[in-house]
């Protein structure tokens, strides 16, 4: 389910109607009401989590817990403490008792900080950071751990396995200090993530997903690693309806490449159609791949979006 702006696609105020780069807003990332809005979201999330607790994530793995699951024959190297000596007494053979392993529920938020995210007013990057912070806060309160890992060309250092709501100030400080990076390399990012995080968890990728073909490879890699993947595509009104006309020298925000291009009305019309197809393709891919998908416009408040995701999405399912 995507949440899109109900506002008309109009050029954002304060930016050049033709050409130029829409600059990120200069205001504070987290205003004083931000925490209050996070707590509201957390309450909503808690209610949802309690309602689903009974079916909450029993692990198929066998491990060390108090809940018995099965027996198996002893083999050399097994922990002698797990041998069922009562069975040995009755049957004269060594059996190992197997218990259901309790799995921790980890939330991993992969945040795209590539240069292409530095667009719109508010910028996609700011919008993405607020959403990431909200999700992480919810993870702190309702899951075993929450992590935020920024990425651009590859996976960057972030906050890993934070536990407890006491980490919130650290989280906000980290988010505020996060800067825009370079190009997007999501496939490499996914590869690094899978190699570092072997225990499956909930992985939320917040990005604009430009270069969908490469992004698909990374998402597939996360799926194959048993992670529950959820993507949040961030778009800005500028991207939906770019105020570009005429003879322009286009500058690639990520690569810095430039090209001369004449943008006509017909070309702009084709762009809008292609952009719509771009988001639709990502959505269809997500549906086919059992990946959660949500689309957010930067002109929609982050908490409204998160509330929508919590109530209608599968993020905490």
Partner 1 sequence: MMLLAPMALWFLVIGGAVVALYLLKIKRRAATVPVLEFWLALAGKTRVHSLFDRLKRLLSMLLWLIIVICLVLAIGNPIFSLGRIKPRAIAVIIDNSASMQAVEPASESRTRFDLARQALREISGNRPVTDEWMLIEAGREPRVLQPWTFDTAAIRRAGDAVEPFSGAAKLHDAIELASQLIAGKQDPCIVIISDGAAGELAPLTAADDRLIHWPIGTTHDNAGIGQLAVRAHRQNGNYHALISVVNASDEPLETQVTLEIDGRTDSVELVSAEPGGTWEKSIVIDAPAGGVLRASLDRADALAVDNEAFAILEPIRPAVVWLVTPTDSAFFFEQALASMDPLVWAEESLTLTPEQYPAASAAAAAPDSSLKRPDLVIFNGWAPDALPAVGRFMVVNACPAELGSPAGEALASPQIHLAPRAHPLMQHVSLQGSRLAKANRITLRQPGRVLAHSAEGDPLIALIEQPERQTLLLTFDVLDSDLPFRNAFPLLLRNTVSFMHEDAPSWLRPAYRLGETIRPSRALPAGTTEAKLTLLRGGTTQESSVPVVNGSFALTQTHHTGAVRLEIGDDAAFAAMNIGDAAESRIAPVNATEDHAAKLGLSRRLLGGMPWLMLAMFASLAVVLEWLTYHFRWTE
Contacting positions for partner 1 (CB under 8 A): 16, 18-21, 115-117, 119, 208, 210-211, 239, 242, 244, 246-255, 257-264, 266-267, 270-271, 274-275, 278
Euclidean distance between the first and the last CA atom of the chain, given in angstroms as a whole number: 14
Beta carbon nearer to partner 1, 89 or 274: 274
Nearest to 191 by CA among 210, 218, 230: 218
The whole-angstrom separation of Cα 201 and Cα 104 is 8
What is the closest distance, in whole angstroms, from the C-beta atom of residue 119 to partner 1 in the complex? 5
C-beta separation of 39 from 142 below 8 A = no
C-beta separation of 236 from 214 below 8 A = no
What is the closest distance, in whole angstroms, from the C-beta atom of residue 263 to partner 1 in the complex? 8
148 forms beta bridges with 109, 159
Beta carbon nearer to partner 1, 74 or 275: 275
The whole-angstrom separation of Cα 128 and Cα 302 is 8
What is the closest distance, in whole angstroms, from the C-beta atom of residue 122 to partner 1 in the complex? 15
What is the closest distance, in whole angstroms, from the C-beta atom of residue 309 to partner 1 in the complex? 23
Using DSSP, state whether 108 is helix, strand or coil.
strand
C-beta separation of 228 from 1 below 8 A = no
What is the closest distance, in whole angstroms, from the C-beta atom of residue 268 to partner 1 in the complex? 9
Residues near 262 by Cβ (< 8 Å), separated by ≥ 6? 246, 247, 248
Beta carbon nearer to partner 1, 16 or 311: 16
In this structure, what token pair is assigned to residue 66? Answer: 């108090």
In this structure, what token pair is assigned to residue 17? Answer: 């109607």
Beta carbon nearer to partner 1, 106 or 208: 208
Beta carbon nearer to partner 1, 33 or 259: 259
C-beta separation of 166 from 191 below 8 A = no
Nearest to 223 by CA among 309, 158, 280, 288: 288
Nearest to 296 by CA among 56, 165, 74, 127: 127
Residues near 260 by Cβ (< 8 Å), separated by ≥ 6? 247, 248, 249, 250
What is the closest distance, in whole angstroms, from the C-beta atom of residue 181 to partner 1 in the complex? 14
What is the closest distance, in whole angstroms, from the C-beta atom of residue 184 to partner 1 in the complex? 9
Beta carbon nearer to partner 1, 29 or 248: 248
Beta carbon nearer to partner 1, 136 or 235: 235
What is the closest distance, in whole angstroms, from the C-beta atom of residue 269 to partner 1 in the complex? 10
Beta carbon nearer to partner 1, 94 or 263: 263
Using DSSP, state whether 119 is helix, strand or coil.
coil
């Amino acid at each position: 389910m995507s949440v899109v702006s109900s506002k008309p696609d109009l050029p954002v105020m304060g930016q050049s109607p033709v050409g130029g780069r829409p600059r990120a807003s200069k205001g504070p990332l987290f205003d004083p009401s931000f925490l209050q809005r996070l707590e509201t979201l957390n309450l909503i999330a808690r209610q949802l989590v309690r309602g689903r607790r009974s079916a909450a994530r029993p692990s198929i793995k066998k491990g060390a817990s108090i809940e018995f699951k099965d027996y198996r024959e002893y083999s050399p190297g097994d922990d002698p403490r797990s041998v069922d000596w009562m069975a040995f007494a009755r049957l004269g053979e060594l059996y190992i008792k197997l218990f259901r392993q309790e799995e921790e529920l980890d939330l991993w938020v992969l945040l795209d900080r590539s240069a292409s995210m530095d667009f719109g007013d508010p910028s996609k990057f700011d919008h993405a950071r607020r959403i990431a912070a909200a999700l992480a806060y919810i993870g702190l309160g309702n899951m075993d751990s929450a992590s935020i890992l920024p990425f651009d060309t590859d996976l960057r250092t972030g906050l890993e396995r934070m536990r407890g709501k006491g980490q919130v100030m650290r989280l906000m400080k980290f988010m505020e200090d996060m800067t825009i990076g370079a190009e997007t390399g999501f496939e490499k990012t996914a590869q690094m993530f899978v190699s570092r995080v072997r225990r499956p968890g909930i992985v939320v990728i917040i990005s604009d997903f430009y270069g969908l073909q490469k992004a698909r490879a990374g998402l597939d890699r996360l799926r194959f690693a048993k992670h529950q993947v959820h993507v949040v595509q961030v778009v800005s009104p500028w991207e939906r309806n770019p105020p570009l006309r005429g003879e322009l020298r286009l500058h690639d925000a990520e690569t810095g490449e430039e090209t001369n291009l004449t943008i006509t009305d017909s070309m702009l019309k084709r762009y809008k159609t292609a952009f719509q197809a771009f988001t639709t393709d990502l959505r269809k891919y997500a549906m086919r791949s059992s990946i959660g998908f949500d689309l957010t416009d930067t002109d929609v408040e982050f908490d409204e979006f998160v509330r929508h995701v919590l109530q209608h999405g599968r993020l905490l399912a």
